[in-house]
Amino acid sequence: MRTTLNLPDDLVKELVKVTGEKNKTLLIRTALADMLKKIKREKLIEFRGKIEFDFDLDELRGRDMT
């Protein structure tokens, strides 16, 4: 999707500096993908302790724990 954006120069320059990436399209695409991963990870963490499992992971993985 082609979009025109007004991006803060200081943020773009700092991101270029820390990543070394010169291609701004790739830079923004990577930043968006990283942000999406972060949000998905945070949403998964919210489930911690809220889901009960009634199966043995060691058994499913074929581990003999005797």
Could you tell me the CA-to-CA distances from 19 to 22, 32, 47, 48, 65 in Å, in that order? 9, 14, 32, 32, 45
The pLDDT of residue 10 is above 70? yes
Give the tokens for residue 24.
């701004």
Asked whether residue 53 is assigned to any structural domain, the reply reads yes
Asked whether residue 2 is assigned to any structural domain, the reply reads no
Domain that holds residue 19: 9-60
**pLDDT, mean of residues 29-51:** 92
Asked whether residue 40 is assigned to any structural domain, the reply reads yes
Asked whether residue 3 is assigned to any structural domain, the reply reads no
> What's the predicted TM-score (pTM) here?
0.65
Q: What is the pLDDT of residues 31-41, one digit of tens each?
A: 999 999 999 99
Asked whether residue 1 is assigned to any structural domain, the reply reads no
Percent of residues, the chain, with pLDDT higher than 70: 97
**pLDDT, mean of residues 20-42:** 94
pLDDT at 9: 95
The number of distinct structural domains making up the chain is 1
Asked whether residue 42 is assigned to any structural domain, the reply reads yes
Give the tokens for residue 63.
């581990």
